[in-house]
Amino acid sequence: MFHYTVHTSLDVVEEKISGVGKALADQRELYLGLLYPTEDYKVYGYVTNSKVKFVIVVDSSNTSLRDNEIRSMFRKLHNSFTDVMCNPFYNPGDPIQSKAFDSIVSTMMVQAC
């Protein structure tokens, strides 16, 4: 069910990154912020310089999560993703099966609730 929300959000991400003409290199511009609100969820986006996209979907009823917390979640995701990429047995494009990655994501999700 989340897949639909996430897929739609990818379109919004594409829109945002193609709209920006100037070259942006710093961390702030990797974070795209709230992509669009729906009735039930808030969807946040983040894209790397290599066009890898991260999407976080948060329940609308969670009002305590602040912007800088979301940013820090994306930063952790980005770092964990880089560790996965550095595993020589991981082929880019494959689904991520790394236990280390899973445990970081789970911990982050638990902390966010």
Partner 1 sequence: MTILFPSLAKRDSVTNRGHSNSELFTLTYGALVTQLCKDYENDEEVNKQLDKMGYNIGVRLIEDFLARSSVGRCHDFRETADVIAKVAFKMYLGITPSVTNWSPAGDEFSLILESNPLVDFVELPDNHSNLVYSSLLCGVLRGALEMVQMAVDVRFAQDTLRGDNVTEIRMKFIKRIEENLPAGDE
Q: Count of residues binding partner 1 (CB under 8 A)? A: 20
| Region near partner 1 per CB under 8 A, out of 5-13, 14-22, 47-55, 57-65 | 47-55
In angstroms, give the least distance from the CB of 44 to partner 1.
20
How many angstroms separate the CA atoms of 47 and 62, rounded? 23
End-to-end CA distance of the chain: 20
Amino acid identity of residue 58, one-letter, is V
Residue 42's SS3 state is strand
All residues at 6 or more sequence positions from 90 whose CB lies less than 8 Å from its CB, including other chains? 84, 96, 98
88 binds partner 1 per the rule CB under 8 A: yes
By CB under 8 A, residue 106 contacts partner 1: no
Q: Does 53 bind partner 1 (CB under 8 A)?
A: no
The residue range among 11-19, 54-62, 64-72, 80-88 that interacts with partner 1, by the rule CB under 8 A, is 80-88
Alpha carbon distance 45, 57 (integer Å): 9
Q: Give the residues lining the site for partner 1 (CB under 8 A).
A: 25, 48-50, 52, 78-79, 82-90, 97-100
